[in-house]
Structure 1
């Protein structure tokens, strides 16, 4: 497949340089100060964009006003992850322990390139709201911008559009109508024991044993507790306890990631997690019940059915192969917060970012069956490395096509001028 390319080689080179700069200087959630400054500078340099900084902390909003017509929101998230990069790229992260391991640098550079195309058009019918969002990885960024008056201070959209780079062949788009990504909750379980000397475990209550047993029990929940399909996913991502080999700790902490696809399944899983944790503590004769805290929650990402098909057809007509996912993805996003708050349709898709030669025939067959290709480092891996030469033109073309289509077709009573 040939990736759609802009005719302006100088512009492509510029956005590649912007991407390299973003990748080399990643910033964690809610700390995207340098990134936000770069975005604001680039938007102002384009001309035509009204630029507002510090929306919801480090968010940036650009407004491009055309003639009468709908308001179309285009969103890119900006934050990086606490991951030590291991790609060997010459533009690899210069920040120890921080990396754009989820491709948000692709999203920012591509949206800026779309903004350049829109600003360079003779005219547009309607308005474009370019939202550069902080803190997606913690599930707090969209809510922070909304709480800071996003749709009171700026035009309310008739449609929200977003995309995410994925470990797929460059330019390949995957999405679906309805639920496209899971809801997510991070959960902290703190188990309390009674510390002591490792030589006399009979005089202590060992929270590490409780945590180890509980970790194994948690893995049965999705299979044993959930009748919903797709089934929920529960992963223990971290276990912290103790400071030395000869010390039994006073407490242990588990960090869990829960992914669910219906509100009922979520409540059932949360109830079961609490029940198992309390039962484990009681069985060990722990001095107190565990503390259980939910944080960094994400909503379901839901594509509005009657609009999604039209947007995906438009992206296909722009040159990208489009595949319908047979089932929702287990990853999570806070993008849907925007459409829910605006009470408007929203469409979200994933776009491949890797060189085509990296994929075997078996990989492509897995993709067609809705399975991730084997052997390709996924998002959040220290070796996740999209190919900017192919993904940036494709992601720009996909978002630009969707935006211009929406400007020509969407209407909403909420899209009043401001």
Structure 2
């Protein structure tokens, strides 16, 4: 009698050990399949059970998720069974497992050979149908998530305390499985939100770069625009003033662009603008600041450049433009540009931004004189041009 009580005591200790192992399974960083495998490991290690399996509810059927028991060497190890066979699926109310799913109550098949409720696992190694079987619903918050099955080859094997223990184990497993799914759903949401946020930030950065580029770039020619020219021209001017370096400015205007647009359309005019922009890019040096300021007007700011250097570059630009071939509707068109030039004068009492505007105005007077004198010309600014021409029109 004492030995019987001792056996019962040690069985209870083993049961508590199985619960303890189950409680120590981590919820993070482990898949649901591995969680179930470790649950069976905890159960098999401390219980005298020959076969165990866990079926999870998928839609309206139970599908085998993991099973294990004795291998050919007598060792207890869980293993993932082959899935997809017809014998591994149970619907609500079908067999002992289906009844456990339907009722939410533990089902005990005392002798599987004589119990009409038993449906064997056809063509599987999980359980052949000999002995006894318990199906315990895996429940969390009154929701049945699956069924835990344990079997033994002896009929009438399971005692009342074992049934209570297996129900407790199944309920504990149900709560653990529910929490694991919540944690993983949260991790998936966090990962998805993080990825979506990263994509949004990346898209925002692309849009910011795109709009910033558009804010400083002329879309037709790809050159800098007016805003960028005056923003970058000021520090270039400041360096020239500080170190006493020469600085030159050219305003370059396409001759008779309006006539070209009127006769051949704006597409021909745009082609002329782009070809001339390409020519200016080829002639400009590293460190020069080239921009398109208006429809037909370009600006070229040249640091470390004396008047002779301006004159020489202006001549090269006009020669290169004259060699351009433009044939709208297969009719040749001759292109030319007029160029107004000026150089930096020492005026220490004027602000840099105003000094840059002054250089721009001076080059504008010289350019206007070129237009009046017949176009395809280049001219340096001289003070006497201003009274003769009057105020320049606003851009």
For the criterion TM > 0.5, the same-fold answer is no
Q: Which has the larger radius of gyration?
A: 2
Q: TM-score, normalised by structure 1?
A: 0.22
Which structure carries more relative contact order (alpha carbon 8 Å, separation 6+)? 1
- Structure with greater strand share of residues: 1
